[in-house]
Amino acid sequence: MNTRIGHYVRALGSAALVALVVACAGLGPRSGMAEPIAAAAERASDPCPPASGFCEQRITYEALGAEPPGAQAACPPESGSCDTPVSSMANDTEGATVARHLQERYDEKLSDCRKNSSDPKPLPALLCSGILLRVTARGPGFDTWNPNPANAQPRGVSFSWLRRDSGMQRFAFNFANGYIILPFFYADTPSDGFTQLTVLCGYPVDAATNGRRSAENDGCGPTPNIANSGPCQAQGITTSARWIQLFGAGQLYGNQCGFNLKPGSAASGVFAQFALIRNALGARAFAIPTEIKIGAWTVGDTRIPLEAFFYLTGTTGLAEAKANQGDFRVRTGRWVPVIQMTLPTVQNGPASFRYVAADQQVR
């Protein structure tokens, strides 16, 4: 059970709010920080509002009696704006903090996400835990963090979810770079300024969603002419044992059902089956990435909750990750780090996430 505090620390009261700090000057709101977020009421007096794209107030780890995330830059005391560039040292501190939080989320074993220990409506674990990422390739006239305009399922965007108990040895198409989205629990308050992304459905392994069909055109429908390949819960498939019974000996990809993860679907229990299914499949699943469909957002949206760009260690992905970081700063005014990622080599094995100053196109 996840009793993670998330942004639901509003009950801490005024004493904790003494620890509010302002992170400014080029650091996008939260910029990957997995700390709790303050309530909208506390943000009202912020001299550098989150809407500027450069600042936010947040409760530091000290307020919770935990390790501080590192020094934060302060808003210019007299100008009331956040236009002053942050120093490379501050960005290096921020980047190292993002890498640390990614490592923590990869190693977590949360079964679900809860506002508090007595929350009667837990949410799927990917909303507060693990790494939600999308691999990309650069192309002319196209920013990689936008939905692909050539997508056969235009209302759904494919991501993978990575955690130690749901690891993978490669990404889709063997791509070596992409970007990471901040978990919903850390970007779900409108006052934070982020566009609210919606998780639609999920598959324990790549589901060949371009070939699936549904009225929504979001990749969550059945594969034509393959029995039981529609949404799992609608067919009474809610356990790993039943999923394995129906699909474990098959070819996977289009021959599997996907779990409905939309808001209101009571999906925390079924999403907990992901790790069980992947571990039951063993080496077959480890060789295939997971697939999560996210509702498409508007092309050119500068408030996408993008946490970091990444590349795989020992690949040529760094050049594209750096170029994407530079483009993102120009398009949005936000700085997010490039993170070096090393995937596990064995099922349920360790992965690593490192911030390297020399990897940054912009510092």
CA–CA dist 209, 43 (Å, integer): 41
Nearest to 90 by CA among 70, 118, 61, 75: 70
> Which residues in the chain come in under a pLDDT of 50?
1-86
Percent of the chain as helix, strand, coil, to the nearest 5: 30, 15, 55
* Residue that has been written with the tokens 């699909």 in this structure: 247
Nearest to 2 by CA among 276, 198, 268: 268
CB 106 within 8 A of CB 98: no
- Retrieve residue 321's tokens: 């990750």
Predicted pLDDT of residue 255 = 98
Give alpha helix (H) positions in 252-349: 268-271, 273-281, 283-286, 317-332
Q: What is the DSSP string of 15-32?
A: HHHTTEEEE-SSB-SSTT
Question: What is the residue type of 57?
Answer: Q
Counting Cα atoms < 13 Å in the Cβ hemisphere of 23 gives 30
Q: Is 248 exposed, middle or buried (0-12, 13-18, 19+ CB in 10 A)?
A: middle
Find how far residue 12's CA is from the centre of its chain. 26
Task: Dihedral sign for Cα 130, 21, 9, 301, please.
Answer: negative
If DSSP codes are grouped into helix, strand and coil, which group holds residue 63? Answer: helix
Torsion angle, alpha carbons of 251, 257, 258, 260, to 10: 180
129-147, pLDDT tens digit by residue? 999 999 999 999 899 999 9
**Entry pTM:** 0.78
* Residue that has been written with the tokens 């308050």 in this structure: 189
CA–CA dist 100, 102 (Å, integer): 5
* Residue that has been written with the tokens 């947040």 in this structure: 58
CA–CA dist 324, 6 (Å, integer): 29
